[in-house]
């Protein structure tokens, strides 16, 4: 989702870009195995000679990572290390998309200076990948995001899936945690923000977030405001009651103040903007 939005936006702004895929092919991407750079089917990165590499790939299924730590390490840490080395080989800026799962969720609305303390295998591996880049790539960006939504070819994100299911009008009963808070952000805004930083030749750590700070129940209720129906029920519970394999940072989310101070005219869209647009498209 993030990679696809970056590819679309960068190209629209006149940049020569190539989007790669490993496990999910799209009409706009070419194959590249980040875990095996000698794969004969790989896109010829050397001939393309990139000036920037945006690494969006990771194993993001948090509970699966908890139960499959070796696979999580391979697909999140090792793939990042290889992309990092590839960036250094070409003198390219290394851009890495990370997460608020590097924090423990005791505070919420995290800044770039806050102390990390991941609770899960996924969070620990994302932090390990961040630290590798910081130690090995002088020219880098680490952009932390969470609860990403927006337009994507598979419609996998929480808001897209929920709105699509509600629009069918079928009976639905949702049981969601009321104690997990985050700052949802549109993948299109992520693409726009990344390009701002790249074009300005900025380096370092940046948090991306919009104006929303919601728990999962509030987020579902926001979707229901636009697409809800009489056969929809939303039941609030706690994370402890759900008892997932991986521990979550309950008070998550991030402050984009550092980025906002750098780009005061940048406007983040919000969940209502996205849902309103979906609602209007349904009426056409």
pLDDT at 283: 65
What is the Cα–Cα distance from 273 to 270, expressed in whole angstroms?
Answer: 5
pLDDT at 150: 86
Indicate the pLDDT class of residue 21, thresholds 50, 70 and 90: confident
Residues 117-162 pLDDT 10s = 999 999 999 999 999 999 999 999 999 999 999 887 776 778 888 8
Q: How high is the mean pLDDT of the chain?
A: 92
Q: Angle 158-168/271-283 helices, nearest 10 degrees?
A: 30
3-state secondary structure labels for all residues of 1-46? CHHHHHHHHHHHCCCCCCEEECCCCCCCEEECCCCCCCCCCCCCHH
pLDDT at 160: 83
Residues 226-257 pLDDT 10s = 888 888 899 999 999 999 999 999 999 999 99
Indicate the pLDDT class of residue 25, thresholds 50, 70 and 90: confident
Residues 50-75 pLDDT 10s = 999 999 988 889 999 999 999 999 99
What is the Cα–Cα distance from 159 to 161, expressed in whole angstroms?
Answer: 6
* Residues 74, 117 contacting (CB under 8 angstroms): no
pLDDT at 22: 86
pLDDT at 284: 59
* Residues 182, 100 contacting (CB under 8 angstroms): yes
Q: Which of 249, 115, 235 is nearest to 181 (CA)?
A: 249
- 3-state SS assignment for residue 191: helix
For 194, other C-beta atoms within 10 Å of its C-beta total 25
Show the domains of the chain with their CATH numbers. 2-157+182-213+248-270 (3.40.50.720)
Residues 193-230 pLDDT 10s = 999 999 999 999 999 999 999 999 999 999 888 888 88
What is the Cα–Cα distance from 161 to 108, expressed in whole angstroms?
Answer: 26
What is the Cα–Cα distance from 105 to 210, expressed in whole angstroms?
Answer: 18
* Residues 5, 192 contacting (CB under 8 angstroms): no
State the average pLDDT over residues 28-43: 90
Q: Give CB contacts under 8 A, 24+ apart, made by 24-30.
A: 24/154, 26/153, 28/4
């Amino acid at each position: 989702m993030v990679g696809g939005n970056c590819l679309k936006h960068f190209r629209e702004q006149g940049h020569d870009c190539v989007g790669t895929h490993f496990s999910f092919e799209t009409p706009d991407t070419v194959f590249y195995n980040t875990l095996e750079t000698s794969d004969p089917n790989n896109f010829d990165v050397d001939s393309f000679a990139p000036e920037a590499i945006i690494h969006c790939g990771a194993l993001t299924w948090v509970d699966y990572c908890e139960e499959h730590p070796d696979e999580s390490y391979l697909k999140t840490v090792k793939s990042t290390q290889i992309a990092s080395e590839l960036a250094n080989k070409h003198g390219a800026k290394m851009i890495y998309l990370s997460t608020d799962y590097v924090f423990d969720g005791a505070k919420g609305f995290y800044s770039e200076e806050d102390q990390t303390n991941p609770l899960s295998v996924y969070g620990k591996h994302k932090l390990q990948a961040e630290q590798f880049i910081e130690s090995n790539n002088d020219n880098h960006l680490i952009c932390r995001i969470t609860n990403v939504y927006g337009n994507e070819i598979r419609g996998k994100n929480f808001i897209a899936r929920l709105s699509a299911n509600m629009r069918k009008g079928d009976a639905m009963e949702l049981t969601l945690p009321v104690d997990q808070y985050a700052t949802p952000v549109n993948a299109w805004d992520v693409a726009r923000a990344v390009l701002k930083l790249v074009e300005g030749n900025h380096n370092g750590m940046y948090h991306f977030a919009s104006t929303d700070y919601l728990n999962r129940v509030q987020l579902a209720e926001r979707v229901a405001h636009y697409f809800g129906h009489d056969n929809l029920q939303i039941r609030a519970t706690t994370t402890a009651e759900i008892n997932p394999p991986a521990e979550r940072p309950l008070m998550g989310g991030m402050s984009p103040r550092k980025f906002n101070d750098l780009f005061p005219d940048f406007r983040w869209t919000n969940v209502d903007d996205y849902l309103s647009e979906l609602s209007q498209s349904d009426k056409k």
